[in-house]
Amino acid sequence: MISKELKAIIDKLNEQGKMIFLEGATEEQIAQFERDHGIELPEKYKEWLRYSDGGELFLPAGVQLYGVAHKPIIDVDENDRPDEKYIVIGALASGDPVLCEKSDERISIYDHEAGDIDDELTYDDFYVFLNDLYELLGIGE
């Protein structure tokens, strides 16, 4: 079961563009992934994984999110990040990775060109990130 907050976000995403949601991961699959890698994923991202274990949003040129049970799987050792405190959980069509912090709810976009994370591209949690995708991707322009 998903929260009313996530349901509202999913409904909004479906109104805004074409999405591919994958089958959700189970609580055990998420917990096993965390145990195997010695990490704890952000709570709101875990709720998303229970709804859709990865997926593609705003096709054809939007964002791909990674999962814990369906390919592409999150690679906690992915080199495409500024340092080890981050995990790559997806990528924009531009190739810039979507990151979560290992010990926080924050979600960030790593700007390859600038070589850093812009404060304007850091979100308090996964839901704030999802709510901003339409603007971030420039779809409304």
Where residue 49 sits, what CATH number does that domain have? 3.40.1580.10
pLDDT given at position 140: 62
Residue 78: inside a domain, yes or no?
A: yes
Residue 93: inside a domain, yes or no?
A: yes
Determine contact, residues 52/79, Cβ cutoff 8 Å: no
Residue 141: inside a domain, yes or no?
A: no
Determine contact, residues 139/16, Cβ cutoff 8 Å: yes
Residue 26: inside a domain, yes or no?
A: yes
Inter-CA distances, 44 with 7, 124, 128, 130, Å: 12, 11, 10, 11
Which neighbouring-strand residues pair with 56?
Answer: 20, 64
Determine contact, residues 74/89, Cβ cutoff 8 Å: yes
pLDDT given at position 124: 97
- Given a cut of 90, whether residue 103 has pLDDT beyond it is no
Q: pTM of the full predicted structure?
A: 0.93
Note the pLDDT tens digit of each residue in 18-37.
Answer: 999 999 999 999 999 999 99
Residue 8: inside a domain, yes or no?
A: yes
Residue 46: inside a domain, yes or no?
A: yes
What's the pLDDT band for 95 if we cut at 50, 70, 90?
very high
Number of domains present in the structure of the chain: 1
pLDDT given at position 139: 79
Q: Which domain holds residue 104?
A: 4-136
Residue 70: inside a domain, yes or no?
A: yes
For the chain, what percent of residues have pLDDT higher than 90? 80
